[in-house]
C-alpha cells in the first residue's frame, strides 16, 4: 500500500476517471487515456489525496468493504460489480467517511456521473437482465387474489394455507418448492373452493366461526355498521345456497368466565346487508351459574339468499354522556385488571347452514364460471368443454391446448356418471386448481436458447409478470387478448396497459401487499407494547396505525402523486381513535378522513406515523438502532452490514434506568466492533426520539428534555424529524432509487443485483423527468431490461 493509506487506494481509481473526464478532456469514461493525460490525472490524484486521505486509517477501509487498487479504470465494464459498489457509496456520500475532509458536491457529482455513464454504456452493449426462477409458486396473497379474479370468490387464504417465508423483504421470492404437506393443503383448499364456487353442500350443514380479537375495545362505533351502534363485528360471508342459516353469538368473558361489562340490560342486533334480521336483549347475571348461560339464547335462524353478504352484529349504543366521557382517562377497555370493559363485548359469531331445504341460486361465482348452460343431455359435453376452455385459459394464463383439457374432461366425465352436470364441473374445477400450470408461474427458455444468452420474454409471459406485479393476481381477459395477438410488447401498448391497471381497483394490492411488506406494516400484528407502560394501547389503535399509512400510500397511487409526498406531506388520514392518540382535536367517529395539518403539527409523513414508529421500537422503549436501520434500508437504500458475530446485545438491566436511550447506546459505540455500524445507524434514529414506542410525541424523557440531534452517514447534521425529512428531500434521487429497487424486487420476484443498477438509474432518470410520479416509476420498471428480458440457463 502506498503512502496515501488505504482510502487513497480506494479513491485513486475513482478519481482517475473523474480527473481524466473533467480536467484532462476525456470525452467518455472507459476510453484509453493518453500517457500525458494519465500523468496529469495522477498529479491531480496526489493533490486530492494530500487534501482528503492522508489521515485515513485501515479501519475506514474495512468499513467501506472495498479494495479497488487492482481495478482497470480504463474499462469499468470489466469490473462492473465492484464499480457499482463504488457508485452506490459515492452517491450516498459514504466515501470517504463523514468525519474526514470531503470533496465538494461538484466533485462528488462528477465522480458518480463519470463512472455511471461508463457502466450504463457497457450495460447497453451487453445487457444482463438476470434470471428469475423457472417455477415460482403463487404465494398466499397471490393465490387468494387469483381465486377472486378467476371465480369471483373472496376467500381467506390464511385459513387455508401456511404463511410464506420472506426474502429480500418480500414473500414472493423463495416460492420455488411445493412440499407434500403444502400440496395436501392446496388439495383441501381446491375442494373447498370448488364447492363454494358451485354452491354445493355436504350431507350435513356446513359453517364457520369468526372470533374477535381479545384486545379489541368495543365501546365505540365500528366502521361499516349502522350509526347508533357500538362494538361487534362486520363479516363478509359466502352463503353457498339459498336457505335457512343459524347465527349464534357468544359474549366475551374474563378469566373467571364471567361475562365482561354486563351490569345492565343491553340490546344486540344481527344484520344482513345492513338490514336487521334478529334482535336480542342480554341481562346481568344474578348468580354464578347464570354467567354460563347469559348468552345461550343468542341464536337465530334466518333465511338468506345465496351469494356473498355482509353479516353484522352490534350493540345498540345509548347516548354518550359528556361527564362519563371525561371520567374515562383511556380509550382502551379490554383488560379486566387495568381497564376492564365498561359494557359487554362480542366474542365470536358462528354461522351454520343451510338447515332444511335449500335452493341452488345464481351467485357471482356461478355466473363467472358457468359461461354456458346445457340445453339438454346431448349438449352437456360440449357445454362442459366450453366452460373448461374458458376456465383453463384464465387459470393457466395462456392459450389452451388439447392436452390441457384432457384430464379435466376425463374427471368431468367420471363425476358426471355418478352425479349431475354440475358435479362434473366441480370435479374438473378442483383438478384445475391443483394443476401446476395454475399453482406455478412458469417461465421457460425458448427452444434453442444457448446458456447465458439473453432473450425477450414472450407477450404471454409478460402479461403474467405485469399482472402479478400490479395486481398480485392473474391477467384479465383484455391483457391476455393483447398478449395472444402479440401486441402487448409494443411500448405504447404496454404503457397504456400499465396506466389502465393502476387505475383498476385490483391495484389495491400495491398498498396491502407491496407497501405492507416494504414498510413492515405486517409486523404490526405481532407487536404489543408493554401495557404497564402503554396502558391505552389496543388492537383498535394498531389497526388505525396501519390504515393511516395505507391510505397515505394509496393516495400516492390513486392520484398519481410524487412519491416524495410520502416523506413530508401537509396532511394525513385519521379517525377519532387515532386523532386522540396523536392529540389532534375535532376529529370524530370511526371513519378515516383526510386531515390537513398546520405548520406546527408533528404529524404527516411516514416518519411521523405510529405504524412505522411502533414497528421500529421495542415493547418497552424506543430503539434508535432499529429506527436508524429502517431509514437506511427502506428510504435510503444503504443498509448497514449484519452485526459481527459474538457481539452482545445492549442489556437494559446493566445500565442505569435513569439514563436516556442515547446515553445507553453510547456503550455500543464505545466498542470498536460495533462503532462502525452504530455510528451510521444511531444518529439517524436519534432524530426520531421525540416519538415514543407507540408514536406519541414527547418533549421529555425521564424528566429531561429529549435530545433529537441526528445525522446521516454523509456527514450532515440536523435536529429532529423535521431536519431528517429535509435531509432526505435534499437528495430525492436516493429515496426514488430505493423505492424503485423495492418495486423492482417485488415485480421480478428476485433481489436487485449490481447488474440491475443501470436499469435502476434509467428508472430514476425517467421518474425525475416526470415529477417522480408513482406511475412514472411503474412504467419505467415495466419497460426496463430486467422486466422485459431474461437470461437463459
Query: Residue 23 above 60 pLDDT?
Result: no
> How many angstroms separate the CA atoms of 629 and 623, rounded?
10
Average pLDDT over residues 210-237: 95
Instruction: Examine residue 84 and say whether the peptide bond preceding it is cis (omega within 30 degrees of 0).
Output: no
Average pLDDT, the chain: 88
Cis preceding linkage at 96, omega within 30: yes
pLDDT reading at 1 higher than 50: no
- Strands of 549-614, DSSP E: 571-574, 593-596
Given a contact cutoff of 8 angstroms between Cβ atoms, the answer to whether 399 and 393 are in contact is yes
Mean pLDDT of all residues in 226-249: 96
Q: Between β-strands 440-442 and 346-359, what pairing exists: parallel, antiparallel or unpaired? A: unpaired
Three cell numbers written together for 601: 403539527
What span, in angstroms and rounded, lies between the C-alpha atoms of 597 and 518? 26
Q: With a cut of 80, say whether residue 18 has pLDDT above it.
A: no
Beta bridge partners of 245: 302
Q: What Rg do the C-alpha atoms of the chain give, in angstroms?
A: 31
Closest Cα to residue 566, out of 764, 735, 693? 735
Cell of 469: 406485479
* Distance separating alpha carbons of residues 706 and 720, to the nearest angstrom: 10
Which has more pLDDT, 149 or 104? 149
Strand pairing class (709-711; 454-456): unpaired
Range with the poorest average pLDDT among 30-44, 220-234, 482-496, 766-780: 30-44
CB atoms within 10 A of CB 731: 17
Q: What pLDDT shows up at residue 49? A: 38
Q: What are phi and psi for residue 73, nearest 5 degrees?
A: -75, -15
User: Does 108 or 125 have the greater pLDDT score?
Assistant: 125
What is the arithmetic mean of pLDDT over 672-696? 90
Dist. CA 638–CA 391, nearest whole Å: 45
Q: Residue 617 has what pLDDT?
A: 97
Residue from 492, 483, 430 nearest 458 by CA: 483
- Spatial separation of the C-alpha atoms in residues 74 and 619, rounded to whole Å: 53
The span from the CA of 214 to the CA of 222, in Å, is: 16
CA angle 355, 361, 367 (to 5 degrees): 140
By mean pLDDT, which of 552-566, 636-650, 703-717, 764-778 is the weakest?
636-650
Q: What is the pLDDT of residue 206?
A: 86
Residue 640 near residue 677 (C-beta atoms within 8 A): yes
Q: What is the pLDDT of residues 574-626, one digit of tens each?
A: 999 999 999 999 999 999 999 999 887 899 999 999 999 999 999 999 999 99
Contact 96, 37 (CB under 8 A): no
Q: What is the C-alpha to C-alpha distance for residues 763 and 786, in angstroms, rounded to an integer? A: 11
Return the higher-pLDDT residue of 690 and 78: 690
pLDDT surpasses 50 at 17: no
Grid coordinates of 360: 341452488
Q: What percent of the chain has pLDDT over 90?
A: 74
Alpha-helix runs per DSSP H in 596-656:
610-615, 624-634
Whether 431 and 411 have beta carbons less than 8 Å apart is answered as: yes
If we measure between CA atoms, which residue out of 759, 733, 735, 729 comes closest to residue 747?
A: 759
Listing DSSP states for 771-788 in one string gives TTBHHHHHHHHHTSHHHH
| SS3 label, residue 202 | coil
DSSP 93: T
Are the C-beta atoms of 441 and 472 separated by less than 8 Å? no
Per-residue pLDDT band at 737 (split at 50, 70, 90): very high
DSSP conformation letters of 356-396:
EEEE----HHHHHH-SS--SSGGGHHHHHHHHHHHHHHHHH
Q: What pLDDT was estimated at residue 22?
A: 42
Amino acid at each position: 500500500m502506498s503512502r496515501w493509506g488505504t482510502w487513497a487506494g480506494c479513491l485513486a481509481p475513482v478519481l482517475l476517471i473523474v480527473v481524466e473526464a473533467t480536467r484532462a478532456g476525456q470525452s467518455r469514461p472507459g476510453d484509453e487515456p493518453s500517457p500525458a493525460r494519465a500523468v496529469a490525472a495522477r498529479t491531480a490524484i496526489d493533490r486530492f489525496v494530500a487534501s482528503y486521505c492522508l489521515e485515513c486509517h485501515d479501519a475506514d477501509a474495512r468499513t467501506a468493504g472495498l479494495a479497488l487498487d487492482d481495478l482497470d479504470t480504463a474499462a469499468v465494464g470489466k469490473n462492473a460489480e465492484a464499480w457499482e459498489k463504488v457508485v452506490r457509496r459515492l452517491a450516498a456520500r459514504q466515501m470517504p467517511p463523514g468525519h474526514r475532509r470531503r470533496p465538494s458536491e461538484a466533485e462528488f457529482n462528477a465522480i458518480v456521473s463519470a463512472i455511471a455513464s461508463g457502466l450504463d454504456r457497457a450495460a447497453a452493449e451487453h445487457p444482463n437482465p438476470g434470471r428469475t426462477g423457472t417455477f415460482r409458486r403463487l404465494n398466499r396473497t397471490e393465490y387468494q387474489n387469483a381465486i377472486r379474479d378467476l371465480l369471483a370468490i373472496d376467500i381467506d387464504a390464511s385459513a387455508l394455507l401456511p404463511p410464506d417465508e420472506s426474502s429480500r423483504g418480500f414473500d414472493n421470492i423463495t416460492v420455488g418448492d411445493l412440499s407434500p404437506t403444502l400440496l395436501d393443503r392446496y388439495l383441501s383448499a381446491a375442494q373447498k373452493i370448488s364447492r363454494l364456487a358451485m354452491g354445493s353442500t355436504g350431507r350435513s350443514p356446513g359453517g364457520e366461526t369468526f372470533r374477535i380479537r381479545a384486545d379489541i375495545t368495543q365501546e365505540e362505533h365500528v366502521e361499516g355498521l349502522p350509526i347508533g351502534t357500538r362494538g361487534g363485528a362486520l363479516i363478509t360471508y359466502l352463503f353457498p345456497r339459498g336457505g335457512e342459516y343459524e347465527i349464534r353469538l357468544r359474549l366475551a368473558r374474563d378469566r373467571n368466565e364471567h361475562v365482561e361489562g354486563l351490569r345492565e340490560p343491553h340490546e344486540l342486533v344481527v344484520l344482513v346487508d345492513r338490514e336487521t334480521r334478529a334482535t336480542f336483549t342480554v341481562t346481568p347475571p344474578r348468580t354464578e351459574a347464570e354467567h354460563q348461560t347469559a348468552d345461550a339464547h343468542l341464536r337465530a335462524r334466518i333465511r338468506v339468499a345465496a351469494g356473498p353478504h355482509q353479516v353484522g352484529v352490534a350493540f345498540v349504543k345509548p347516548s354518550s354522556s359528556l361527564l362519563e366521557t371525561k371520567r374515562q382517562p383511556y380509550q382502551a377497555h379490554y383488560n379486566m385488571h387495568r381497564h376492564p370493559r365498561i359494557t359487554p363485548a362480542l366474542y365470536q359469531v358462528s354461522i351454520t347452514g343451510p338447515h332444511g331445504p335449500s335452493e341452488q341460486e345464481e351467485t357471482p361465482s356461478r355466473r363467472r364460471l358457468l359461461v354456458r348452460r346445457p340445453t339438454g343431455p346431448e349438449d352437456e359435453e360440449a357445454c362442459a368443454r366450453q366452460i373448461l376452455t374458458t376456465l383453463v385459459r384464465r387459470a393457466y394464463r395462456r392459450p389452451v391446448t388439447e392436452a390441457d383439457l384432457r384430464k379435466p374432461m376425463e374427471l368431468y366425465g367420471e363425476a358426471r356418471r355418478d352425479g349431475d352436470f354440475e358435479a362434473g364441473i366441480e370435479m374438473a374445477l378442483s383438478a384445475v386448481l391443483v394443476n401446476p400450470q395454475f399453482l406455478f408461474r412458469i417461465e421457460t427458455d425458448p427452444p434453442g436458447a444457448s446458456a447465458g444468452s439473453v432473450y425477450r420474454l414472450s407477450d404471454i409471459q409478460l402479461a403474467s409478470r405485469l399482472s402479478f406485479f400490479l395486481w398480485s393476481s392473474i391477467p384479465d381477459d383484455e391483457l391476455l387478448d393483447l398478449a395472444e395477438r402479440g401486441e402487448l410488447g409494443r411500448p405504447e401498448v404496454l404503457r397504456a396497459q400499465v396506466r389502465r391497471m393502476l387505475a383498476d381497483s385490483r391495484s389495491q394490492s400495491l398498498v396491502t401487499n407491496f407497501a405492507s411488506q416494504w414498510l413492515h406494516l405486517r409486523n404490526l400484528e405481532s407487536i404489543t407494547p408493554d401495557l404497564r407502560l402503554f396502558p391505552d394501547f389496543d388492537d383498535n389503535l394498531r389497526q388505525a396505525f396501519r390504515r393511516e399509512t395505507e391510505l397515505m400510500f394509496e393516495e400516492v397511487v390513486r392520484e398519481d402523486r410524487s412519491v416524495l409526498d410520502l416523506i413530508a406531506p401537509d396532511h394525513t388520514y385519521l379517525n377519532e381513535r387515532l386523532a386522540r392518540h396523536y392529540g389532534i382535536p375535532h376529529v370524530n367517529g370511526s371513519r378515516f378522513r383526510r386531515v390537513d395539518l398546520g405548520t406546527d403539527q408533528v404529524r404527516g409523513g411516514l416518519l411521523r406515523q405510529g405504524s412505522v414508529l411502533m414497528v421500529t421500537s421495542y415493547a418497552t422503549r424506543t430503539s434508535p438502532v432499529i429506527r436508524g436501520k429502517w431509514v437506511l434500508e427502506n428510504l435510503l437504500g444503504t443498509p448497514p452490514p449484519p452485526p459481527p458475530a459474538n457481539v452482545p446485545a445492549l442489556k437494559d438491566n446493566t445500565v442505569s434506568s435513569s439514563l436516556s436511550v442515547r446515553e445507553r447506546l453510547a456503550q455500543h459505540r464505545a466498542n470498536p466492533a460495533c462503532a462502525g455500524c452504530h455510528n451510521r445507524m444511531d444518529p439517524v434514529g436519534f432524530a426520531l426520539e421525540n416519538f415514543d414506542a407507540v408514536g406519541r410525541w414527547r418533549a421529555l424523557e425521564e424528566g429531561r428534555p429529549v435530545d433529537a440531534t441526528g445525522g446521516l452517514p454523509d456527514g450532515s447534521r440536523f435536529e429532529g424529524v423535521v431536519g431528517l425529512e429535509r435531509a432526505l428531500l435534499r437528495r430525492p434521487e436516493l429515496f426514488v432509487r430505493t423505492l424503485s429497487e423495492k418495486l423492482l424486487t417485488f415485480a421480478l420476484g428476485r433481489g436487485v443485483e449490481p447488474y440491475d443498477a443501470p436499469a435502476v438509474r434509467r428508472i430514476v432518470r425517467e421518474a425525475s423527468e416526470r415529477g417522480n410520479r408513482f406511475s412514472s416509476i411503474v412504467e419505467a420498471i415495466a419497460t426496463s431490461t430486467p422486466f422485459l428480458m431474461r437470461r437463459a440457463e
